[in-house]
Amino acid sequence: MTLTVYALLAFNLSILLTVVETQYIPKTCECPQAKIRIKGPFSDLKVTPKRPKCLQDEIIVTLQKNNSQLCLSPEGQQGKRLLKCWQSMQKDGKDSKKCIRNSKRSKART
């Protein structure tokens, strides 16, 4: 009887190991490619901070004219400015949409 139990345990263990080895774990970054600069007024801003399965901050802006969502690189000047503003708003507990409005004002001055 013990031989049968050991054989059954070995069989179950081999099935478990096979399932674990073949399991697909998708990449969890939302932005496989990001643009350095995006023109147009934005209606929304979403920032996803670095996490274990995505090693960079992600910035997703929604264009006002057609509601399309585009990824903005956190490495470019525009991305750095929005990311810094977003972090400041999060720290102060304010609405991150102020970053979009601030971006519009800075464009009007230049």
- For 60-74, the pLDDT digits (tens) are 999 999 999 999 999
pLDDT at 81 over 90: yes
Report field, pTM of the whole predicted structure over 0.85: no
- For 12-60, the pLDDT digits (tens) are 556 554 544 444 455 678 888 999 999 989 999 999 998 888 888 999 9
CATH of the domain at 49: 2.40.50
11: in domain: no
The domain of 100 spans: 42-109
6: in domain: no
φ/ψ (deg, to 5) at 11: -65, -45
φ/ψ (deg, to 5) at 64: -70, -35
31: in domain: no
84: in domain: yes
Predicted pLDDT at 95: 85
Q: Contact, 27 vs 54, CB < 8 A?
A: yes
